[in-house]
Amino acid sequence: MKKPANRVLLALQLLSFVIIASNMHVIKSVENTRLMTNGSPYMTVVNPTTSDGNFTFFTETTEVGDTFLANITVFDVSGLEAWQLNLTFDTTMLAVNNISAPADHVFVDQFFFEGSKSINNNVGYATWWMALGVGTTPVNVSSEGARLCQLQFNITASPAINETLSSLIHIVVAGESLFYSKLEPSIAFTTLDGQYDYTDLGIHDVAITGITLSETLVPQGYGVGINITAENKGNFTEQINLTLYANTTIINTQNVTLVSGSSIIIPAHWNTSGFDLGNYSITAVAAPVVDEMNTTDNTYIDGVVTLRAPIRDISILDILPTKTVVEEGNLIYITVTVENQGEIMETFNITVYANTTSVNLVDVALSSGNVSNPAIAWNTTGFTKGNYTLSAYAWPLSGENDTADNIMLDGWIFLTILGDVNNDRIVDITDIVMTITAFGKSSEDPGWFEPNWFSNMDVNNDDLIDITDITTVIVEFGNSW
């Protein structure tokens, strides 16, 4: 039970007990009190987190303004009636925010008085006392220990790179300080100070040490592979923010994590679409990390990429009609095989001609190095009977230099009457025999096109030579033109 101290009560109280000094100051006991047999009395500054006297911090996890607690604890004391704390600390690195009695302090179940708390963060000391009331049974403290009070410290300074700030959290003993007071009789005791250490384990330093280009002469619109070598020269794991430039234009950004003392090759890609032709200097920049002092190696310039005009080249490789003998007025498809032999995606036109007459035009989109086989329709309505030479023409692209292979003349089509499968202008026994011979053939069979052209006997154009085709030829028997 706690009672407020006033001058009368305090005067009476001091007649019956003595206040102890130290960070656990002198400890006062009843006269003739014997020390407990399990050890000599001592007082210590205890870290409640580690249960020892070390208060160790590192800049990686601790900042100026952070706080920590320190317990003032006694061990192996018998007949304890009062205590007085006189504590000193280094004001260049620490300050005391508060002194308080923890919930389980040594006099918690007793009738006691407490003095005014005195904290001076300019000089660097803190004092407080507590005493049992008159007639209250003294307290015995075993080797398990008991807390007198608790201080909250504030960290006020950080170490420089590779530096440790160290100081004692010191319990003042008799005759050592003006702030020490001792009343008799007292219990002799030993003090154990707290050790405060705040350490910067090393440096923060990231660097770009190399750039490698996949190629230096690149068609405009192509991609460029760029490998950047980054190194962590410091003592901490770092998050590196990397920016890649072509001249002054940002072409890539990445975030990578790099542990202390390691290096990494970071792959990047530059899509040159939309960039003008010309030379581009490649630069990699690692943004400075927190507390990084040496930033001269955060920028690396190496390599020049020249963007040239891409090669543009379209080539017609083949022409193949679905059949070579066609009934006048029917629809026929002509497959044109075309290749993009250039370096970029192209969209272009192909025109198919019968002799010199354009029969159809189609648009084709084709990526570099690929082949397409568009089937281009020719409606023969309005064309006179007879033989037609086929050709296909890919219209030249802007900047295309090789245009000799943009045109191909290959194949022919003969327009005739229905049933004239051998294109001799008459439907006779030969046409019937040829159709019967091809009976059962389909578009899936070899020879449907070249070299047998079974497709010519498919007079109803259903991709199968059956009784319908034979009947049709027989019905047309004798017709000619």
Give residue-wise pLDDT tens across range 57-86: 998 789 999 999 999 999 999 999 999 999
Single residue among 277, 308, 339 that ends a domain in this structure: 308
Min mean pLDDT across 16-30, 55-69, 146-160, 273-287 is at 16-30
Whole-number Å distance between alpha carbons of 74 and 140: 10
Cα Rg, the chain, nearest whole Å = 50
Same domain, 411 and 430: no
The answer to whether residues 212 and 124 belong to one domain is no
Residues 6+ apart with CB under 8 A from 32: none
Q: What are phi and psi of 272, to 5 degrees?
A: -85, 5
Residue 78 shares a structural domain with residue 149:
yes
Regarding whether 256 and 153 lie in a shared domain, the answer is: no
| Segment among 100-104, 133-137, 393-397 with least mean pLDDT | 133-137
pLDDT at 136: 93
| Overall domain count for the chain | 4
Give CA–CA dist 16/31, Å, rounded: 10
Express each pLDDT in 138-150 by its tens digit. Answer: 999 999 999 999 9
Residue at a domain's end among 308, 331, 353:
308
Give the pLDDT confidence score for residue 185 in this predicted structure: 57
113 and 233 in one domain? no
CA distances to 47, 284, 310 from 307, rounded to whole Å, are 66, 19, 9
Listed in sequence order, the residues at least 6 apart from 219 whose beta carbon sits closer than 8 Å to its beta carbon are 307, 308, 309, 310, 311, 343, 344
Whether 362 and 470 map to the same domain: the answer is no
* Mean pLDDT computed over every residue of the chain: 89
Instruction: For residues 128 and 152, state if they share a domain.
Output: yes
For the record, the structure tokens of 30 come out as: 């009843």
Of 134, 113, 123, 99, nearest in space to 24 by CA: 99
What pLDDT was estimated at residue 6? 37
Whether residue 337 is predicted with pLDDT greater than 90 in this model: the reply is yes
Is residue 20 very low, low, confident or very high in pLDDT (cuts 50, 70, 90)? Answer: very low
Asked if residue 23 has pLDDT above 90, the reply is no
92, 175: one domain: yes
Same domain? 425 vs 444 = yes
Q: What is the CATH number of the domain that holds 345?
A: 2.60.40.10
Residue-level pLDDT at 450: 86
Q: State which residues form the domain around 469.
A: 419-481
* Domain final position from 148, 170, 199: 199
Q: 144 and 38, same structural domain?
A: yes
C-alpha 343, offset from chain centre: 33
Once rounded to an integer, what is the mean pLDDT over residues 219-230?
Answer: 95
**The residue count for the chain:** 481
* Residue 10: pLDDT band with limits 50, 70, 90: very low
Which CATH number is 457's domain given?
1.10.1330.10
Residues 66 and 154 in one domain: yes
Q: Is residue 400 predicted with pLDDT exceeding 80?
A: yes
- Pair 161, 79 in one domain: yes
Side chain identity at residue 334, one-letter code = I
pLDDT at 132 exceeding the cut of 80: yes
* Predicted pLDDT of residue 9: 33
| 42, pLDDT greater than 70 | yes
